[in-house]
Amino acid sequence: MKSLLLVYHSQSGASAELARACAAAAGTVTGVQLQVLRAWDAGSRELLAADGLLLVAAENSGALSGTMKDFLDRTFYPVGARGPVLPYALLLSAGNDGRGARRQAETILSGYPMKRALETVICRGEVTASHRQRAAELGEAFATGLDMGIF
Ligand SMILES: Cc1cc2nc3c(=O)[nH]c(=O)nc-3n(C[C@H](O)[C@H](O)[C@H](O)COP(=O)(O)O)c2cc1C
């Protein structure tokens, strides 16, 4: 059984809605045990126990939301020291851009080191059915890949 940790941060509820869609789909993969935590509740203990990490957050002021960055900052030393590279996938909510958050998050995560398992998904504007669909596809694809050991 593989362990998948989904960490999210949301102010207005947009990222939370995407995280729910992502988690619902990831949770259907039988060989994967899913844990969903808000960024301020997640720490090194949960991350060290995970085989893969899904991150869901917003772009704020051209960068990754501060609370998600805080999660990554807090866990950097213990997780970086553990050795094996953890696969991750990133889902971003943005008003109209998201590229700054993607660049920053991918740079931080590459130095962790973690490896991006799937293309980062950016959902712009109000959350739509299409966004929920993309979030679900990301969650299911990541959980399936983890289960099959292909990341
Ligand atoms: C303080 C703040 C800064 C923001 N900066 C950006 C930005 O730089 N680029 C962008 O596309 N959207 C920006 N947004 C919009 C959010 O990314 C967008 O509303 C997102 O869906 C919010 O998700 P959340 O409320 O779940 O965190 C900003 C929102 C806030 C509150």
- Cβ atoms of 4 and 54 within 8 Å: the answer is yes
pLDDT mean over 7-27: 98
At 129, the pLDDT band (50, 70, 90 cuts) reads very high
Q: Which domain holds residue 133?
A: 2-148
Distance (angstroms) between ligand 1 centre and the Cα of 112 equals 25
State the greatest distance between any 2 C-alpha atoms of the chain, in Å, as a whole number: 40
- Assess whether pLDDT exceeds 80 at residue 84: no
ipTM of the complex, rounded to two decimals: 0.99
pLDDT given for residue 82 in this prediction:
75
The two structure tokens encoding residue 29: 């993969």
pLDDT given for residue 79 in this prediction:
86
Atom of ligand 1 nearest to the CA of 16: 26
* Angle formed by the axes of helices 99-110 and 66-80, nearest 10°: 10
Number of domains present in the structure of the chain: 1
pLDDT given for residue 99 in this prediction:
98
Report the percentage of the chain scoring pLDDT > 90: 93
**The domain that contains 40 carries what CATH number?**
3.40.50.360
* Closest protein CA for atom 6 of ligand 1: 60
